Amino acid sequence: MSVKKSELEVSATAERPMRADARRNLALVVETARDVFASAGVDAPMREIAEKAGVGVGTIYRHFPQRSDLIAAVFRHEVDACADAASDLLQQHRPGEALDRWMQRYVDFLIAKRGLASALYSGGPSFESLPAYFDSRFEPALQSLLDAAAASGEVSADARPYDLLRAAASLCAPSNKGDPTMARWLVALLIDGLRYRAPTRTT
């Protein structure tokens, strides 16, 4: 399980620097909570998360006094992982393929987070900043992919990240009993539409 210092660590420990082992424990708690919430729901006992992470329950509550604080940290962690994947994909693939792969990665994020959606929209103060955080991370990530693909002549240059992200979210609305196949196909068609409108390159 990878550990990486992220926004959630900074926000959770702004009052003092963290030791390296404390950062690792914090990241491990968040990643473990992500897995437990995915399998057992957001009401899973904190003791279960602590036991699987190999830390004391007090460690969790010291960093995340409320359950909602931990849920928000899981969201931020997953947003960071998805957004950061954009630059990695651009290094590994042609721009058009990198765009395709990232949009499918975004589908994975949307589908995996359905179980947390009710918590996200519950009105809790810990969640108030999350929508803006999503936009601040996802829009630049997708913009970088669109710019690269447009520069290579693979897609139209007039697509806006804001519009594509929300269109993909609508296409991933709960259906097919959790089967992501249809959502993946629809999002692929959405990106194909950008290719259809791309300018014809002459040699």
pLDDT tens profile 81-110? 999 999 999 999 999 999 999 999 999 998
The whole-angstrom separation of Cα 68 and Cα 73 is 8
C-beta neighbour count of 123 within 10 angstroms: 7
Is the pLDDT confidence value at 7 over 50?
no
**Tell me, what's the pLDDT at 116?**
64
8-state DSSP, 94: -
Is the pLDDT confidence value at 167 over 80?
yes
The whole-angstrom separation of Cα 35 and Cα 49 is 9
Is the pLDDT confidence value at 25 over 70?
yes
**Tell me, what's the pLDDT at 40?**
86
The whole-angstrom separation of Cα 131 and Cα 124 is 13
Per the CB < 8 A criterion, the answer to whether 153 and 198 are in contact is yes
Confidence of residue 41 (pLDDT cuts 50, 70, 90): confident
Structure tokens at 175: 């259906």
Q: What is the mean pLDDT of the chain?
A: 84
pTM of the model: 0.80
The whole-angstrom separation of Cα 122 and Cα 41 is 15
Mean of pLDDT values over 122-144: 89
Longest dimension (CA), the chain: 65
Going from the N-terminus, what domains does the chain have, and what CATH number goes with each?
7-65 (1.10.10.60), 76-196 (1.10.357.10)
Choice between 175 and 133, residue whose per-residue pLDDT is larger: 133
